[in-house]
Chain A
Amino acid sequence: DAKTTQPTSMDCAEGRAANLPCNHSTISGNEYVYWYRQIHSQGPQYIIHGLKNNETNEMASLIITEDRKSSTLILPHATLRDTAVYYCIVRSMYSGGGADGLTFGKGTHLIIQP
């Protein structure tokens, strides 16, 4: 699976949009971009995933660049409860495309400031 690069930490003011970048320049055509977050003392929580089109759900939006080498997770109105470590993961979705499961990096520690 392709490697991802994320900033170690970010701050965002409560009520503002939080934009979390992820670089995955070695992504291949059959690899999806997944985002998870982990709030302190809890299990990782699925947020969103996409292949090449932008995606939106009730939690967040995922913007993937046209060349697919980077993406941005957007939390439109951040709250204090969004303080967590956010993981960007590239994952192959077919047999032989890499290890099954998810390979977690160090993620971005997002701190929402009141």
Chain B
Amino acid sequence: DAGVIQSPRHEVTEMGQEVTLRCKPISGHNSLFWYRQTMMRGLELLIYFNNNVPIDDSGMPEDRFSAKMPNASFSTLKIQPSEPRDSAVYFCASSLGRWNTIYFGEGSWLTVV
């Protein structure tokens, strides 16, 4: 079985540009999570969806960040406009049900210059 698939794996962009990160959860999983990892703050939960509906976005840092889940097999995390402090690894994860084991993708490494 394929795991959580994220794209792009690496992205370098200039400050002010729009960045879109994509995620395909494990087939059949109905909960999806977006995390961000930096050296200073570690792994932080940004937002999670249950059955395609955003349940808690309290971890989203500011209005420049938005996330959508148009269907059960696809989610996006968008940053517009991007800033250097957004440089981090962004992980998508999914689970079968909100309280079951969560499985992570390999991450999208974002560098904003």
> Counting CB contacts under 8 A, is B102 at the interface?
yes
B83-104 near A? 1/0 per residue, CB < 8 Å: 0000000010100001101111
B91 to chain A: closest residue by CB:
A43
A49 CB to closest chain B CB, in angstroms?
7
Pair B98/A105 contact, Cβ less than 8 Å = no
Pair A44/B104 contact, Cβ less than 8 Å = yes
> Counting CB contacts under 8 A, is A11 at the interface?
no
Q: Tell me which of A12-20, A63-71, A74-82, A93-101 binds B.
A: A93-101
Say which size band chain A's interface belongs to: 20 to 34
Give A94 to B100 CA distance when docked, in angstroms.
10
Give A43 to B31 CA distance when docked, in angstroms.
17
B92 to chain A: closest residue by CB:
A43
17 extra A-B contacts, CB within 8 A, seeds A43-B91, A99-B45: A34-B101, A43-B4, A44-B91, A44-B104, A45-B104, A46-B101, A46-B102, A46-B104, A49-B101, A91-B99, A93-B99, A95-B98, A99-B56, A100-B50, A102-B45, A103-B45, A104-B42
B23-58 near A? 1/0 per residue, CB < 8 Å: 000000001010000000011010010100001100
Give A29 to B43 CA distance when docked, in angstroms.
26
B105 to chain A: closest residue by CB:
A43
B58 to chain A: closest residue by CB:
A99
Residue from B48, B103, B105, B106 in contact with A101 in the complex, judged by beta carbons closer than 8 Å: B48
